[in-house]
Chain A
């Protein structure tokens, strides 16, 4: 008899639900399932039914009577509405409960309201048994996503506008028409014009207005005054030939990078025919920046001792933090860090050479791992080695001893400047990593022939080498030997591929992310490395010379027939993960705690979380491609 009562009341709930979409279209069995499990709750006016703080929602609600307001509560505005009122037949939350994450909205009863509710498990079961309901929920989420994409684009546009100085084409930064002279102009008249017009430099051009040289104010003291240069002689004899130049379409980022790399403060801007358009000075680019690249660069180049380099190292860090705060992209940022760290390392090496007699030794200093890939984050420990040549085989041992002594000083000085010693002893002072070209070749050859787990691990570190100081040719020779050896050994590449596929992107089937026990994701281990590993294999397979992941992906992927759109999506994904790594290091440094690449996805705002998810999807796509290619 009590069964009749239940039938009657469940029937009443069913009748109510049938008045509304999607329930009116739902399969009879699914609707029955919902009505049987729906219990009715009362929510007094002003009471909160669900908030982001309540964590993963435990119930799905359908308004029976009254008004429920959804208020945007996250850091980022995800949807176009800031509040939305739900009436009878409308339901919440859909996205949060589907993804099993806390709601981004706060749901508050704005009238005394009644809501049916079912448990989260019943909700998920309902999605499974009812194609209609499933479609309803996914379409709802999709419409949220498209709203958020639009939001994303407009916020990017806004951000880009704020940073116009960094993204603008150089052509737009030119403040005045170029002032120039020809090489045969007497120096005196050229200097008079500089003085008249308050110019920091004078450009020298040929008859077609192609720049052939430059004279800057800082050249005057050493070259003119101290040297007692005869001002009647032509400026062509005094100028610096082959001045640094960039096309007008290059960005301010490019200009800053060029200045940092070469230690100059003026760049000539030319059109597509190399005709001079104007001059961009460091001041034009960084008028508002407190620590300028040039200052750091000068600090490094003029450093007389390690103490001065330690200061420069701190400045690099500070500059990187400023740039992060300005919202600069990951690729450019790591390039800055890399360029400045390179300069720092070179200076350390130069200083060390003063205390070590290396006369007559032909060698190069290698950077491995992330430094080798130009992907250093703010605190990466040292990974380096030495390659050298010895004409006389009998001298190898003695030469190695001298280089190792020298390398020890460099390693210690690097440590003093904020690059921690490598725990795995991957350092040039390790005699095992101070080798001749032939020794390196045979070492690499061994790993390729017998790819045991240790060899594969080594490959992932050492194959990302680049020459940071010394004879560049060693690097080219080793690279071409490596590419040849790897290309001819598909078994090795297949093993590398299998190894690279061992770590999966931390994407969940039901949840957004699979997190580790402490609720975090390791952005290095299960993020960046997925891209890095595949890019390395791609480079070996297609013979790409670059050690940078982005370059490897860009150059290698078109050879295996991936579309440029596909590749840029993948690169965007990689860059986003790198940016998150830098950003979390940034924050952690301010809290003075050790950075460890870990991020709690819950701490990200909704947008970043969605982009991160997309980035992991790109990693999965890349891995899938590898899987197909090697039939794994």
Chain B
């Protein structure tokens, strides 16, 4: 049985995907797994952000996704993705996968963003794609203790860096702010010899473990 026909079974009675979305999913599946060990300046990171009906993971639904590429340490405004889930959530998420590829994902607050996204992937596409997740919620205080000693809200970090955005609480508007925070994070990480995506993810993870103790 082909991967696509298995997918169709897994999706059950969801509305059918567009031909374009199917092609995108197939192409994504064919991509090689990334090693995430190439240096920052050769890496393409995707800063990802979600917009939901609320912050309750049990009740709230994903409304929109926004994503911006940071390629070679530079933020490219033209290399961005934004989609409302309605009316065709499968197509919106397939489009997101096509945009992301196998790039490491940078989010602010993975607990919420990752969970709500993975559930949507599973429900709409019938599978949960694997990614390297980098959570700025933990990474930022680990890299910039002089600015905020403990994990803070996005608004706190934006204030600490005097970063502004064109529209708050909008998937892409917040992603724009998060992306700028990540540019700063990348630069600081490099000076601490945290030189690649995997090391960055591990650095954030280590900080999180330390908090629990």
Contacts and interface: CB of A to CB of B under 8 A. Distances in A.
A associates with B: yes
A598 B201 CA distance: 56
A47 B188 CA distance: 11
Given A10-B78, A36-B78, A42-B183, A5 B172 contact: yes
B77 A2 contact: no
Given A5-B66, A5-B172, A12-B176, A40 B80 contact: no
B131 interface: no
Nearest to A39: B74
A619 B99 CA distance: 58
B73 interface: yes
B186 interface: yes
Given A40-B77, A42-B180, A65-B162, A9 B68 contact: yes
Contacts of B38: none
Contacts of A65: 162-163
Nearest to B184: A42
Contacts of B75: 39-41
Given A2-B95, A39-B77, A12 B186 contact: no
Given A9-B172, A9-B176, A40 B78 contact: no
Contacts of A618: none
A47 B187 CA distance: 10
A2 B175 CA distance: 14
Contact of A1 (B78, B83, B165, B186): B83
Given A1-B82, A1-B95, A2-B95, A39 B76 contact: yes
A9 B74 contact: no
Nearest to A42: B183
A13 interface: yes
Contacts of B163: 65
B43 to A, nearest CB: 15
Contact of B99 (A2, A36, A112): A2
Interface in B169-208: 172, 176, 180, 183-184, 186-188, 191
Given A1-B95, A12-B176, A65-B162, A42 B80 contact: no
Nearest to A2: B81
A4 B83 CA distance: 8
B95 A41 contact: no
A8 B183 contact: no
A8 B175 CA distance: 12
Nearest to A43: B187
26 contacts: A1-B81, A1-B82, A2-B80, A2-B99, A4-B82, A5-B81, A5-B172, A6-B78, A6-B80, A9-B68, A9-B78, A9-B172, A12-B176, A13-B77, A15-B166, A35-B77, A36-B77, A38-B77, A40-B74, A40-B75, A41-B73, A41-B75, A44-B187, A44-B191, A112-B161, A112-B184
> Would you list the 7 A-B pairs with minimal beta carbon distance, nearest first?
A5-B82, A9-B77, A42-B183, A5-B80, A40-B75, A12-B166, A2-B81
Given A5-B82, A12-B165, A44-B191, 11 more contacts: A2-B81, A2-B95, A5-B67, A5-B172, A6-B79, A8-B166, A12-B166, A13-B77, A36-B77, A39-B74, A112-B161
